[in-house]
A and B are shown apart, each in its own frame.
Chain A
Amino acid sequence: MINVIWAAFLIIGIIYAAINGNIDIITKSVITAAESSVTLSFKLIGVMCFWLGLMKIAEKAGIVKTITKILHPIMKHIFRNIPENHPAMGAIIMTISANMLGLGNAVTPLGIKAMQEMQNLNGNKEIATPAMCTFLAICTTGFTIVPATVIALRSAAGSVSPEEIVGVTIVVSLFTTIMVLLFDFLCRIIYYRI
């Protein structure tokens, strides 16, 4: 599926530009995007290092263990294939907590760490496990209590009450998270029982 989508974006884009006579756009678009992806990855290096460093302290100080203990009763139902004391569970829970608290750029490094821990439990290193898919489902919904970026944008655009969307956003993203988890459960049944 990912192969089809990736190829389709490229080929449809190029053919469409050719038909409309702006084929010259393509080369520029490719180069600009390729360059900005490098910039983005390099920017990630600093943030990654910083948060992974802090995580290591949190791990050694036992904070991760404490938070995991509190949230494990809920999480064990969602991530059934991950043993309680495995570091993957701690990393998953830290990622979701950081997301909820709106710790912005901490989320990606923590999420990647969780993926690496889950990869250790994976038999086939190139294919995603069901636990990874569930984790991704939660992350792509990205439940946040305070959507700080949007509030800032609304405020900049001269809104009378930029924060009035907080309640609605919580309702929508909670609902979406629940629906996504149900859909994930359905996919698991379809992919693993047939």
Chain B
Amino acid sequence: MMMLELCTELSIWAIPMAIVIIILSGLWSRVKVYEAFVEGASEGFYTAVRIMPFLMAMMVSISVFRDSGAMQFMINYLSPILSLLGVPEALVPLAIMKPLSGTGALGLATEMFNQFGPDSLYGRIASTITGSTDTTFYILTVYFGAVGIKNPRYSIYIGLFGDMVGFFSSIYICRLIFAS
């Protein structure tokens, strides 16, 4: 329980402390903090607006893929293949969802917590998968979209490779540690 309290305390304090430290050191170095803040903030609006078409394109395409049932079909297809590699069938949807949608993956993880319990092996594996990597397509879309890069080169392979490594190593390491 000590660990939990420490973790929650840390995540509650992190942002307020960052704000205080930045502003205090600004005052210490005689920065005109309010003017500097506004100067920086004025860049934010256009950047966010520039991302919108990229985000829209990607979200629409992923949403159609998911809502049409095609994603479920792919999951059903992949389950037997992945189970040969030692992947439990229950985890396959999470493997597909994780790179595509962050909220979707959190939703699936919650479903697994309800079905198997958060302290079951599957619950722990699902937690590790969700906590250890970020949403590849979101990051790719937003970061490249913000600067207008249309050709992301090989970075999509790297992102998906990372998701795969994260997925498989979560399963193997959790099995190793929580197996008993």
Contact = CB atoms under 8 A, between A and B. Distances in A.
A102 B155 CA distance: 23
Contacts of A165: 124, 127-128, 131
Interface of B: prevailing SS = helix
A41 B48 contact: yes
Given A126-B150, A128-B151, A154 B61 contact: no
Interface residues of A, number: 108
Query: Interface residue tally of chain B, by bracket?
Result: 35 or more
Contact of A57 (B37, B136, B150): B37
Interface of A: prevailing SS = helix
Nearest to A48: B44
A137 B119 contact: no
Contacts of A101: 14, 18
B57 interface: yes
B60 interface: yes
Interface string A1-39: 110011101101110110010100110111011101110
B169 A176 contact: yes
A87 interface: no
B59 A13 contact: no
B118 A154 contact: yes
Interface of B: 1, 3-4, 7-8, 10-11, 14-15, 18-19, 21-23, 25-26, 28-29, 31, 33, 36-45, 47-49, 51-52, 55-70, 73, 106, 109-110, 113-114, 117-119, 123-124, 127-128, 130-136, 139-140, 142-144, 146-159, 161-163, 165-166, 169-170, 173-174, 177-178
Closest 4 CB pairs of A and B: A56-B40, A142-B134, A147-B131, A49-B44
